[in-house]
Amino acid sequence: MKKVAYILDVFPQLSETFIINEILELIRHKVDVVILSRRKPEENVLHPGARDLIKRTYYLDNRTSTVRKLLLHLRFLLFSPDKYMKTFLFSYKRKSTGAFWYFKESVIYAEIIKKVKPEHIHSHYAASSATEFAMLVSMLTGIPFTFTAHGWYDIFTSPPSDFDLRAEKAKAVVTVSNFNRSYIHRRFHVPLSKIHVIYCGIDLSFFRPDMLNNDKGNIILSVARLHPVKGLEYLLKACGILKEKEYSFKCIIVGEGPERGKLESLISELQLCDYVELVGNKTQDKVLEYYRQAKIFVLPSIYEAMGVATMEAMACKVPVVATRIWGVPELVDHGKNGFLVPPKDPQQLAEAIETLLTDSDLRRRFGEQGRLKVERKFSLKDQAEGLLRLWEET
């Protein structure tokens, strides 16, 4: 596979470093990657590798004139009449909201795809506009496409009404856990043979422990968007329980999002101002520093496909506490490389953290086993090679 086009909604996004890392690893595997993004990000903090990728990115947020779009439609009608009419009729007959608008806009993407000539098109999130455009562009150009379905909103809570149709048009559906694969098959009736599990991977040469830092304070770390699905209010309530037991600790939460105000109010209400700090978005280098300072990592999600931040912590030999939901048990083996607790249960969360705070041998054992697990199953290299094998086969 020599050239691949990624169609994405917003690129680059700090909350989606796994997409950035996936693309960077493909480039290291000698793949020429071109990116089509509908919008530029609003955030200022960038992944260090994103700056070079921006040079490969076509942004389509500048408005294309109606005349220009009409000319593009006419060109595709004249030079690819069969593909154009099939795509036109397909879009016209669909009942999903905005389906024909996507068709009208899709020629802008298709024109770029025809110019850069990729062998394959890939997108992320089943419910994204990007995947809708990838499907239509594939139909207009004849270039095969695949998409990665992740979890929370695009599979479980707000999947597209035509998930089965998108899967049918795709050469394959990628997903990030065996739990997801089984769920997609049951709910959307996609054949299991078409759904491929490729775990999100991490750069093991970057995420590694600091062997010189043996004197860690009682730092409890969480790296997550400040969003209700991450369950951070339950971590704060667990911190409140630990405070009442007179434990000395500092909880650092890295990330930004719509729940900041609510979480700040809860920190004040529980009198945790001296115990909890919301530090906002940070670069990957700074996040690595936090992992290396942490004694325990906690991700108390209510919904979580797997948890890339949990992988990163495990790679740094930080013992982890996560919730027993969806694909997380495929990463965290309870009692072997971490603890799994029920979601929305601050009492059990506090008990798991307390156990790790007071047992250095257990922390060391969980840390060692966690690193071994991600080395064995969750490397970025394996992820990229899995995608390349799939694309070659399809």
pLDDT band at 394 (very low <50, low <70, confident <90, very high): confident
Distance between CA atoms of residues 132 and 138, nearest Å: 10
Report yes or no: 356 and 295 within 8 Å, Cβ to Cβ: yes
Who wins on pLDDT, 313 or 18?
A: 313
* Domain assignment present for 257: yes
CATH of the domain at 247: 3.40.50.2000
Shared-domain flag, residues 235 and 175: no
Q: Are residues 387 and 364 in the same domain?
A: no
Q: Is residue 169 part of a domain?
A: yes
pLDDT at residue 64 in the model: 80
State both tokens at 28.
């290291």
Q: How confident is the model at residue 335 (pLDDT cuts 50, 70, 90)?
A: very high
- Residue 329 inside a domain? The answer is yes
The letter for the amino acid at 153 is: Y
Phi, psi of 12 (to 5 degrees): -90, 155
20-to-50, 116, 135, 300 alpha-carbon distances in Å? 7, 20, 21, 25
Mean pLDDT of 182-198: 97
Q: 195 with 237, same domain?
A: no
Return the residue matching tokens 């690193």: 371
Query: Do 190 and 41 fall within a single domain?
Result: yes
Total structural domains in the chain?
2
Do 284 and 302 reside in the same domain of the chain? yes
Task: Average the pLDDT over 142-147 and give the result.
Answer: 98
pLDDT surpassing 70 at residue 45: no
Looking at the fold, whether 135 and 261 belong to one and the same domain comes out as: no
Q: How far, in Å, CA of 358 to CA of 349, rounded?
A: 15
97 with 133, same domain: the answer is yes
Same domain, 142 and 228: no
For residue 336, what are the domain limits? 219-377
The verdict on residue 79 lying in a domain is yes
CB 173 within 8 A of CB 149: yes
- 290-313 b/e (C-beta count within 10 Å ≥ 16 → b): bbbbbbbbbbbbbbbbbbbbbbbb
Listed range (38-47, 92-101, 239-248, 279-288) with the worst mean pLDDT:
38-47
Cis ω for the linkage preceding 342 (within 30 of 0): no
| Three-state SS annotation for 353-371 | HHHHHCCHHHHHHHHHHHH
Query: Is there a domain that residue 313 lies in?
Result: yes
pLDDT given for residue 42 in this prediction: 78
How many CA atoms, within 13 angstroms, populate the side-chain half-sphere of residue 350?
17
Q: 149 and 8: one domain?
A: yes
279 class by beta-carbon count within 10 Å (0-12 exposed, 13-18 middle, 19+ buried): middle
Considering the chain, what is the average pLDDT of its residues? 94
> Do the domain assignments include residue 214?
no
With bands split at pLDDT 50, 70 and 90, how would you rate the model's confidence at 217?
confident
- b/e for 42-59, b at 16 or more Cβ within 10 A? eeeebbebbeebeebbbe
Identity of residue 382 = D
Q: Are residues 98 and 189 in the same domain?
A: yes
On whether both 278 and 150 belong to a single domain, the answer is no
Q: How far apart are CA 157 and CA 394, in angstroms?
A: 29
H helices then E strands: how many in the chain? 15, 13
Average pLDDT over residues 202-220: 83
- Widest Cα–Cα separation across the chain: 75
Least confident residue range of 188-192, 281-285, 311-315, 376-380: 281-285
Residue 110 in domain: yes
Cα radius of gyration rounded to whole Å, the chain = 22
Q: Are residues 93 and 150 in the same domain?
A: yes
Task: Quote the pLDDT of residue 13.
Answer: 87
Burial 99-136 (b: 16+ CB within 10 A, else e): beebbbbbbbbbbbbbeeebebbbbbbbbbbbbbbbbb
**Residues 139 and 161: beta-carbon distance below 8 Å:** no
343-371: per-residue pLDDT in tens? 999 999 999 999 999 999 999 999 999 99
Confidence band (pLDDT; 50, 70, 90) for 1?
confident
pLDDT at 286: 93
Q: 5 and 120 in contact (C-beta within 8 Å)?
A: yes
What confidence score (pLDDT) does residue 44 get? Answer: 67
Flag whether 211 is in a domain. Answer: no
Mean pLDDT of 122-136: 96
Q: pLDDT category, 157, cuts 50, 70, 90?
A: confident
Question: How far apart (Å, rounded) are the C-alpha atoms in residues 47 and 12?
Answer: 8
